[in-house]
Every structure is written in C-alpha cells, then in structure tokens.
C-alpha cells in the first residue's frame, strides 16, 4: 500500500472510529489495516491513534495529520478530476450560522444535491469564529461585520434589518417615535461568542453614515434563536434581519418600530483560506450560495409589517 492509500486508510479509520469498519469500507483485511497504520506511525515517529476496546480516536498529532491528509487527498482528487473532465465530487465541509442555513440554504439543497450527486456536504452550525485551516473547513458562511483575518471574504448579500419589539413590550414601555426617545428603553442584546461584545443599535443617516445608540441591555445572549425568543417575550426591543421576523411581523407577534429611521443592512459573506486553491466543488458551492441569496434577496421583506 503506497503513501496515498495509507492516508486514505488513516482518514477512514478516523472518520469511522474503527479499524474493522474502515477495513470493510476499503475491502481489505482488518489485519492489513492495522499493520499499515502501525508502519505509518513508525515512519512518522508519532502516535496517531488512541485505541481502546470500544473505539479509536486520533491523538493531537493524529488530528493534525488527519487535516493535512484531507487537504492532500482533496488536491489529488481535484487534479485528476480536472484532467478527466469529471464532475466535481467529494466531501465539502461547510460551517454556517444556523439561521442562514435554515432560511436560505436548506430549501435549495435538494436541487443542488440532485444536480451534483457526487458531492457530499458536511454542514456544521455555530456562531463562533472558526479556524478553517486547523479544523479542516472548506468555507464559512457568516452574517454581520467580520473581524480582521487572513481569510478571503466574498460578499454574498446585504440583507435588510428593522427595529422591532413585541406588543407586550410596547404596552409597558411605549413605542419610540424618534431616536432621541430611545432613552429609557431597553434592548435584548446579541453577544459575540468571539469577542464578548454586544451588538449596539445602529441607524443609517441620509448621507449614509451610521449612528450608534447606547440603550440599557438587561439581557444579552449568544444564540440567535434565544435572541428572538427574548424579543418575542417582550424583554426588550431589538434590531433583526427582516427575513428572520417576517412571519412574526405578519402575525402581529412583533411590531416594527422607528420605520422612519432605517437600520443599516447586514452583510453576508462566504469565507475561505487565502492560500488555498479552491477545489471545483468548493467553487461550485460558493457560486451556488451567491445565486441562492440573489434569488431570495427579498426573503421576508415582501410582507408589509405592521408599524406602531
């Protein structure tokens, strides 16, 4: 078994957490798989796998080697596929904020996968800042202003936002008519997992400049669904992407506030490593993401929300 085959076996053992299942997948005897990994560890001079009676897990060195193997095997597959004129295939590792996945990506995935049956998508959801190189992620889809990084950030969309609150909040605190009237009000804050900072209220002036307004924030959370739940419960007013609260606005569960004071739109970006040649499947997926957001650019804004 050559080095590439040994890498394929090693990554399969890590994925399956089992020598027996990995050997079965590759149609080789289990004893052969065990011997190949033993020789691989001897050649590298490190222990790659932690074996127990019930499972197999990579060591820290094994995890690092696993990520490198994935990148190498992807490059080999893409190079050979380009010469064969083959359709893009293989595993695509994507990190997405859950709200964006549910509203924009998931509705279109059946069609995407039907047209590209050789592509397998492993989608992870989180709000945290991901180390794409160390964690072996191909691309990341993020909402909001991005921190400085070495990643390439391709703009995907600018999604409209509004200021809103629950009827219960308005009954208790009133509906501000001007920005100045926000004094004495309170917000539900969305707190960054990465920096710990709470996103402030922002308004856009006629000349395009932004105005940041400080309002008391008795509750701040890191999850978008919990954030929306707090708004619905009347714990504070907040600024939300219009698509995310469209049904709440249509049903009257939330009310739009300050309609004459627009909120800056929220940018959506797809990020990927600067020093990595994008594989055909990654390029294909990114182009599809751009098309999905273009097709759904009015997501939620077509519903005229009630105003107070």
Domains by residue range for the chain, with CATH? 3-84 (1.10.10.10), 90-156+267-295 (3.40.190.10), 167-260 (3.40.190.10)
Q: What is the pLDDT of residue 277?
A: 61
Among 262, 255, 257, 259, CA closest to 306: 255
Q: What is the pLDDT of residue 84?
A: 60
pLDDT of 21 reads 86
Q: What is the pLDDT of residue 82?
A: 62
- What pLDDT shows up at residue 202? 94
| pLDDT of res. 199 | 86
Closest CA to 135 of 173, 84, 106, 95: 95
Please tell me the pTM assigned to this model: 0.66
The values of phi and psi at residue 235, to 5°, are -80, -10
Angle formed by the axes of helices 242-251 and 224-232, nearest 10°:
30
Instruction: Please report, in tens digits, the pLDDT of each residue of the chain (308 residues total).
Output: 788 899 989 988 988 888 998 898 888 999 999 999 999 999 999 999 998 877 888 999 998 898 888 878 877 876 776 666 567 778 888 999 888 888 899 999 999 999 999 898 989 887 777 777 667 788 899 887 776 677 888 889 899 999 999 999 999 999 999 999 999 999 999 987 777 888 889 999 878 788 999 899 999 998 888 999 999 999 999 999 998 999 999 999 999 999 999 999 989 999 887 755 677 888 899 999 988 888 875 443 322 333 44
φ and ψ at residue 206, rounded to 5 degrees: -60, -30
DSSP string, 6-60: HHHHHHHHHHHT-HHHHHHHHT--HHHHHHHHHHHHHHHTS--EEE-SS-EEE-H
């Amino acid at each position: 078994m050559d080095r590439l085959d040994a890498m394929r076996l090693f990554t399969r053992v890590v994925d399956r957490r089992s020598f027996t299942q990995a050997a079965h997948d590759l149609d080789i005897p289990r004893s052969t798989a065990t011997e190949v990994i033993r020789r691989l560890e001897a050649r590298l001079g490190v222990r790659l796998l932690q074996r127990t009676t019930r499972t197999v897990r990579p060591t820290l060195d094994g995890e690092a080697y696993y990520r490198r193997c994935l990148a190498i095997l992807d490059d080999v597959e893409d190079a050979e596929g380009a010469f064969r004129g083959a359709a893009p295939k293989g595993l695509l590792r994507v990190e997405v904020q859950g709200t964006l996945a549910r509203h924009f990506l998931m509705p279109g995935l059946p069609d995407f996968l039907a047209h590209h049956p050789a592509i397998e998508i492993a989608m992870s959801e989180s709000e945290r800042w991901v180390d794409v190189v160390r964690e072996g992620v191909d691309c990341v889809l993020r909402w909001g202003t991005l921190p400085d990084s070495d990643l390439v950030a391709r703009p995907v969309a600018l999604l409209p936002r509004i200021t809103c609150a629950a009827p219960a909040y308005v009954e208790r605190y009133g509906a501000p008519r001007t920005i100045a009237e926000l004094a004495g009000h309170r917000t539900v804050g969305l707190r960054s997992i990465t920096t710990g900072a709470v996103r402030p209220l922002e308004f856009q002036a006629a000349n395009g400049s932004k105005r940041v307004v400080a309002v008391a924030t008795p509750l701040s959370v890191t999850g978008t669904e919990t954030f929306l739940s707090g708004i619905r419960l009347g714990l504070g007013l907040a600024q939300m992407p219009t698509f995310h609260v469209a049904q709440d606005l249509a049903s009257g569960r939330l009310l739009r506030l300050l309609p004459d004071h627009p909120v800056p739109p929220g940018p959506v970006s797809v990020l990927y490593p600067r020093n990595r040649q994008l594989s055909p499947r990654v390029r294909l997926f990114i182009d599809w993401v751009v098309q999905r957001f273009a097709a759904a650019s009015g997501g939620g804004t077509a519903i005229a929300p009630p105003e107070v």
